[in-house]
Chain A
């Protein structure tokens, strides 16, 4: 019964707070109260403390009031007889535990060396990743938004053996669920078990090793807390909002593998505050009554073969998996899987051979649904370790199919094939590069299975627009050479068709409300010349999505009367935005940074920021971790832009939009750009040059400063003077 659990959690919390208090005191003695303490590249400080208490921990001294709060929260121990109600007490003890863990883990970043690896992937000698920075959080957060990651499992302890660990992990991966790993049982951790069994761990495969200590599980909670602030627009300190957001949006749960200690109970009590239940494999008491979590709170003694399905049921998750008849596992979780040279059976396309993929529509009677052909040698006829050309030729037909949808379907091939375990897919169109792993080959994977995957997934996801799918895979070198030319012809036609399309040539834009599940008041308006700020949805995507699901998150928006051509304001668009932002945004400019700019959810690829003294703007993308001339790094900027708020002078955008003629055209467009991170600038080189020429500044590319030229607004201005930046001559922005 819950008395045992609550008593243990309260005991555990006392011990944890005692321990962390000592560690903080030791650190203060060693480094002093003013010693800066922070997690890598985040605008959210120690995120659990910041989110729940609204308190910024920036120095060791800032931890003192948090420790005091922990002490206030710690309840008395549960009496043997005549006890007072312990549930609320245990939940408070759990919260104190989370605050203590947040500090304990932050202290690790003062150690030399830091016990964690930075980035998405473990290294040879250290598998532990510690806190995710904001770049990872935002990138992965999008997957939580669109549902491709239905939730996460915080796994503590270890399975009885490696084989069981792999089975559990794979089952979670197959369902797209992230696996956050911490703590040990019997001296073993779940993450180590996976690594020993040769499973690739790290963010790309959704198997994330946080740390060996139980305290490292806080990084899962920190991720969830930041998601509420970054995507949900919940304000720091609005603990009720943060916890409700997590209960109703982030479908997470704890899998406790092994003996449940007082410390685990304390952490589990903390998780219950977030609506995350615990499912244990050991024979501990249960709390089955509902109320804090969606359903049960603690469910125990669950056999390993049932533990994942039980966890999903307890959390109240519905996951639709279309079973694909292939001999390997299939899930978005495998999209990030790497296949090294040693592990690869063969390579297809890539730098050393031709490779392309192509999708076109035909008449209904020209397509035989489910027909897969392999023209040329199949995998079992190829030499191990060698490279072969490949052409993936997909033909679809359907009553609602349109030529405009061809490139959309074609673009899906990348992630659809990548989802199969043992298939690596990089690039698109005629820069295709694939690998098939030895394991997948040995499991029976053949090229015709590419057809099986595309057929099943196309039907599953695009059944509204297509009725038939047939696939041919070419590995015959001559045939590939011949068809790649045919495909290229079509690629060019499509480009010119899309290029000719402007905001003026259409009467209807499309909305994207997908992110409203995370940012309730945010509305994306997608026009031909301005894709969604996440970069994942352009106007055609919006149109297709609407055809596929007429009541879905992408809706047609009639432009209506022009209110202001320069700003890009239309009566129909304003009305739509007003209604769908729940009356929080009254008007919207498609082309302006300064007047009624578009709101942001949190998924944006980059942010445009006004540099007021320079009379110019800077653009920073989320991969740039450093300080920017506006005085804030991306992570901090993102915090002030996201959450559905309209902030003149700041706007979240897709990288593609930078090359659009409508890019902040109300303020003078691309000529206003005075600073960008170097890697972003280089990746957009062609576009910037082209746009510069069009705007009469052919050397614009060289006039944009990077972090190598300037890190402050003053330095940007100096650089502008030096190169004669066009913005110097332009009208004042403010």
Chain B
């Protein structure tokens, strides 16, 4: 058996470390330790194998990649590009199936057929309607909502014509996609086409595959994901700045602890309501608890953290840890990032582990099916009741709740950023652009993605973000990465004075914002697409997303969804760095293209770097390069306006 890493090398998260120690002391298996016990498949890690047909599976050599070809003659470049494209398709499918679920839910609400949910943000509905070209003047909200829902739903099965939300991109960007034939049609069509093209004996041109994958990825970012974000805002409220608390310390020794893990926000939204329901609270009292302590995890947790300020227990790699506290009475999961190990681990405690979605069942887990369009309240009551009933089974001797939790401000949607920079009447991105142009802010980085047991948990995010802030790079976050930085206190406005370079600090203090902005779940990376498009439209920073001094990173990624996200950012013109490992062999034509040549086609490119400081350097170099191209790298003289100059200003 491989030697386990010392706990201080496994994670920098104190609560996770404490629970890992408890697990090791009591002989429990965790994903961290399993990662140590099982070396990653070296051939798979380099994407040098193919099992798309049964003439193989074929494996080529990562050391001498061009020495061999597959049985069919497929080259290493085809193999890598095909594997990569399938990951993109899988990631796109995940976000998009989530988006479809939101669309169907929204349609049921719009039609007035679903009393369990409401439209909470009418203003956003009207704004989205406008972007979709839906007439709003003089129409009932309900009618507008139905049309919006139908258009959103149509984005999945549409066969011809580009996705609607692509029009939110800068004109030049749209044109570039059009010229390259990359405007995605229906989301499903792009995923199906990608699966087809990567099947045996179809697309065997690595560039064609990679660009095809870009089209598929765009259907995720500007399609499925964006639909999900927008409709979720309409149904559950557009995030506004709000206080929240994160880390395992949010568990409560005296209350029924209910943990919800997964991605689709509607179940957790319903549970939030029910957790305050007097009847449920009475049940909890009856069960001997002081109340119900509902907490989120992972991305559905993120969605309610930034909408309701719901307590959040931790990111993906804390899911084992939360069970190991022994304090969780019920853990409900829906879809995506649900590790099978959780079901067996929960059996080591009194914790009841429920799967709730027909698409995600786990052997050995109790299944209570939740359908947002049919039985939201009823299923929610049943789930909560089971957790409450389980409270009495909690074994105090097994309970260890770490005393650590951190406060934060989250809720930085596109709308919030617009508002916080100018209020109701002057809201715009102008102050952001202005302070990028004048150099107070060097650039903006999206630091997103998962956590991964193969790297020191939370550490890569932490080191990277710290370095970016010190260099005056404003950081926008989503997903599990966001929870890392929230735990470290970086999402408190006071953090600006502690971590930022002088320019960024001044801007944060002027606005009253933390230097790290929590924008939501991984599906909400679409908000970053909207934000960068708005930066372009606001002016002064070029005509395309690829002109902006911005960069993206997923330092501890693990999911195929991350690959899809990375690829839609690259396809939208953003330089994107991934950490951990990358399924590519350095020096192959495909890798050279992905990490280099693709920039000529798409304006963005990939990079791989596992060291956080080097990763920061890559991003800062890229930002500096863009600043120089924009001519904003040098301090400008103040322009004073005489009448003639004033006449040139837009009014």
**A contacts, CB < 8 Å to B:** 1-3, 6, 52, 73, 78, 81-92, 94-95, 146-147, 150, 232, 234, 239-241, 243-245, 248-249, 251, 273, 287-292, 294-295, 297, 312-313, 316-320, 516-517, 520
| In the complex with contacts A82-B492, A244-B651, A289-B506, A87-B512 CB distance below 8 A | yes
* CB <8 Å contact, B641 and A85: no
B510 CB → nearest A CB, Å: 4
* CB <8 Å contact, A292 and B422: yes
| In the complex with contacts A82-B492, A243-B425, A295-B638, A87-B651 CB distance below 8 A | no
Q: Which residue of B419, B427, B642 is within 8 Å of A318 (Cβ)?
A: B642
> What are the interface flags for B462-494 relative to A under an 8 Å C-beta threshold, 1 for contact and 0 otherwise?
000000000000000000000000000000111
With a CB–CB cut-off of 8 A, which chain A residues contact B500? none
B535 CB → nearest A CB, Å: 13
With a CB–CB cut-off of 8 A, which chain B residues contact A295? 638
With a CB–CB cut-off of 8 A, which chain B residues contact A82? 243, 407, 409, 492-494
Q: Which residue of A243, A244, A251, A291 is within 8 Å of B435 (Cβ)?
A: A291
- With A86-B512, A291-B434, A319-B642 given, can you name 5 additional A-B contacts, CB distance below 8 Å? A82-B243, A85-B511, A147-B642, A288-B506, A312-B640
B643 within 8 A of A: yes
In the complex the two chains form, what is the Cα distance from A517 to B649 in whole Å?
Answer: 9
Q: Which residue of A2, A91, A241, A318 is within 8 Å of B422 (Cβ)?
A: A91
In the complex the two chains form, what is the Cα distance from A84 to B409 in whole Å?
Answer: 7
Chain B: interface residue count, which band? Answer: 35 or more
With a CB–CB cut-off of 8 A, which chain B residues contact A294? 641
Q: Which residue of A1, A89, A243, A313 is within 8 Å of B426 (Cβ)?
A: A243
B635 within 8 A of A: no
B463 CB → nearest A CB, Å: 25
* CB <8 Å contact, B421 and A81: no
The residue on B at minimum CB distance from A289 is B510
B384 CB → nearest A CB, Å: 30
The residue on B at minimum CB distance from A312 is B640
* CB <8 Å contact, A92 and B424: yes
> Could you jot down 20 A-B contacts, CB within 8 Å?
A1-B510, A81-B494, A84-B512, A85-B416, A87-B423, A88-B419, A88-B420, A92-B424, A92-B425, A94-B423, A146-B643, A147-B643, A234-B651, A248-B649, A273-B423, A289-B435, A289-B440, A291-B435, A292-B431, A316-B641
In the complex the two chains form, what is the Cα distance from A640 to B434 in whole Å?
Answer: 37
* CB <8 Å contact, A1 and B509: yes
Q: Which residue of A83, A244, A297, A312 is within 8 Å of B650 (Cβ)?
A: A244
B485 CB → nearest A CB, Å: 15
B241 within 8 A of A: yes
* CB <8 Å contact, B425 and A318: no
The residue on B at minimum CB distance from A79 is B243
In the complex the two chains form, what is the Cα distance from A87 to B650 in whole Å?
Answer: 24
The A-contacting residues of B in range 625-651, CB under 8 angstroms, are 638-643, 645-647, 649-651
B507 within 8 A of A: yes
* CB <8 Å contact, A291 and B421: yes
* CB <8 Å contact, B641 and A251: yes
B610 within 8 A of A: no
* CB <8 Å contact, B241 and A292: no
| In the complex with contacts A82-B492, A85-B511, A317-B641, A249-B426 CB distance below 8 A | no
B432 within 8 A of A: yes
* CB <8 Å contact, B425 and A52: yes
With a CB–CB cut-off of 8 A, which chain B residues contact A273? 423, 425-426
With a CB–CB cut-off of 8 A, which chain B residues contact A245? 651
* CB <8 Å contact, A87 and B421: yes
With a CB–CB cut-off of 8 A, which chain B residues contact A147? 642-643
| In the complex with contacts A232-B651, A243-B426, A244-B651, A87-B511 CB distance below 8 A | yes
Q: Which residue of A95, A289, A516 is within 8 Å of B423 (Cβ)?
A: A95
The residue on B at minimum CB distance from A233 is B651
The residue on B at minimum CB distance from A551 is B644
B486 CB → nearest A CB, Å: 12
With a CB–CB cut-off of 8 A, which chain B residues contact A318? 640-642, 645
* CB <8 Å contact, B512 and A6: yes
In the complex the two chains form, what is the Cα distance from A398 to B353 in whole Å?
Answer: 97
Q: Which residue of B438, B510, B646 is within 8 Å of A251 (Cβ)?
A: B646
With a CB–CB cut-off of 8 A, which chain B residues contact A90? 423
With a CB–CB cut-off of 8 A, which chain A residues contact B435? 289-291
With a CB–CB cut-off of 8 A, which chain A residues contact B424? 73, 88, 91-92, 95
In the complex the two chains form, what is the Cα distance from A496 to B154 in whole Å?
Answer: 78
B242 within 8 A of A: yes
In the complex the two chains form, what is the Cα distance from A730 to B407 in whole Å?
Answer: 83
With a CB–CB cut-off of 8 A, which chain A residues contact B640? 312-313, 316-318
A65 CB → nearest B CB, Å: 16
With a CB–CB cut-off of 8 A, which chain B residues contact A91? 422-426
In the complex the two chains form, what is the Cα distance from A135 to B440 in whole Å?
Answer: 45
In the complex the two chains form, what is the Cα distance from A94 to B438 in whole Å?
Answer: 26
**Most B-side CB within 10 Å, residue of A292, A297, A316:** A292
With a CB–CB cut-off of 8 A, which chain B residues contact A297? 510
